[in-house]
């Protein structure tokens, strides 16, 4: 039987000496960040504290979680902001856009040169008739521990022609999370 998301979180937390993460509030969590200037290369979550909602939802803590808050990344999606205000967005769809990306946590690259191919995951991902702009992480997922910086470096390209594209881009990380719970009076 495979390891559950909760098991993996607790296992990694234990190895990192985070002994109280097991007492925190379990949740479903997602963080996202948008770059609304068209470019070929984008870096997400770094400096995101400067980008208020709806450009990003990370808040004042920027690209690290608070004490005893964590996210087990189980799914990574990419979207195209429609305008500079970042309010509306679409999937990668047009021009066969796909994304080549790295996920970096702390000083460690934990996903390297991974491509989120437009329309990938056809075996199990079905969103009406729309091609997928999402990649499911194989295995249980990857934990972003509390107070460790994380970011995503991404390049856009045309999945059919295999050539670089220039566009706005956004990225979300989705999975099981933990929220701070004091578990005592303070």
Partner 1 sequence: MANQVQKLSYVDSKLGVSLPGQQTTRVIYDSINAAAGQQFFQFFTNFAGKTQFQTNLTTNKLDSAESMVIKSVQIIINSATSNIEDHLNLNITVGNQVVLKDFDPSFNCSSRGLSFDRLHSGFNSPTNLEVRLLTEIVIPPQVNFKAELQISNALVAVNDDVTIILKGYGRIFSAGNSF
For residue 80, give every residue at least 6 positions away whose Cβ sits within 8 Å of its Cβ, in sequence order, or none: 89, 90, 91, 92, 93, 94, 97, 167, 168, 169, 170
Residue with smaller CB distance to partner 1, 46 or 75: 75
Interface region with partner 1, contact rule CB under 8 A, candidates 100-108, 146-154, 159-167, 171-179: 171-179
> Which of 44, 79, 101, 157 lies at the binding interface for partner 1 (CB under 8 A)?
79
Applying CB under 8 A, which of residues 22, 75, 95, 147 lies at the interface with partner 1?
Answer: 75
In the complex with partner 1, the residue whose CB is nearer, 18 or 134, is 134
146 near partner 1 (CB under 8 A): no
Whole-angstrom distance, CA of residue 93 vs CA of residue 86: 17
> Which two structure tokens, joined as six digits, stand for 29?
């969590």
Which distant-in-sequence residues (6+ apart) come within 8 Å of 14 by Cβ? none
The binder of partner 1 chosen from 22, 93, 111, 148 (CB under 8 A): 93
Q: Does 23 sit near partner 1 (CB under 8 A)?
A: no
Q: Interface with partner 1 includes 84 (CB under 8 A)? A: no
Q: Does 150 bind partner 1 (CB under 8 A)?
A: no
Which residues 6+ apart lie within 8 Å of 40 measured at CB? 155, 156, 164, 165, 166
Tokens of 3: 């390891």
Q: Are 78 and 165 in contact (CB under 8 A)?
A: no
Determine, following the binding rule CB under 8 A, whether residue 22 of this chain makes contact with partner 1: no
At its nearest, how many Å lie between partner 1 and the CB of residue 31? 8
Q: Is 54 exposed, middle or buried (CB count within 10 Å of its CB: 0-12, 13-18, 19+)?
A: middle
| Range 96-135, binding partner 1 (CB under 8 A) | 118-119, 124-134
Spatial CA neighbour of 12 closest among 151, 122, 141, 150? 141
Give me the residues that bind partner 1 (CB under 8 A), please. 4-7, 25-32, 53-54, 57-59, 74-75, 77, 79, 86-93, 118-119, 124-134, 136, 172, 174-177, 179, 181
């Amino acid at each position: 039987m495979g390891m559950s998301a909760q098991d993996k979180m607790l296992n990694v937390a234990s190895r990192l000496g985070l002994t109280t993460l097991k007492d925190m509030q379990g949740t479903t969590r997602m963080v996202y960040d948008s770059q609304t200037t068209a470019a070929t290369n984008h870096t997400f979550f770094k400096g995101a504290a400067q980008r208020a909602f709806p450009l990003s939802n990370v808040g004042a803590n920027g690209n690290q979680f608070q004490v005893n808050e964590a996210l087990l990344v189980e799914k990574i999606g990419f979207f195209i902001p429609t305008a500079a205000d970042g309010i509306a967005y679409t999937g990668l769809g047009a021009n066969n856009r796909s994304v080549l990306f790295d996920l970096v946590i702390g000083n460690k690259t934990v996903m390297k040169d991974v491509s989120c191919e437009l329309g990938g995951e056809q075996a199990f991902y079905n969103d009406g008739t729309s091609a997928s702009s999402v990649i499911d992480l194989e295995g249980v997922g990857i934990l972003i521990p509390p107070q460790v910086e994380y970011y995503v470096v991404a390049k856009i390209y045309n999945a059919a022609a295999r050539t670089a594209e220039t566009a706005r881009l956004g990225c979300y990380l989705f999975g099981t999370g933990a929220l701070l719970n004091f578990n005592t009076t303070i």
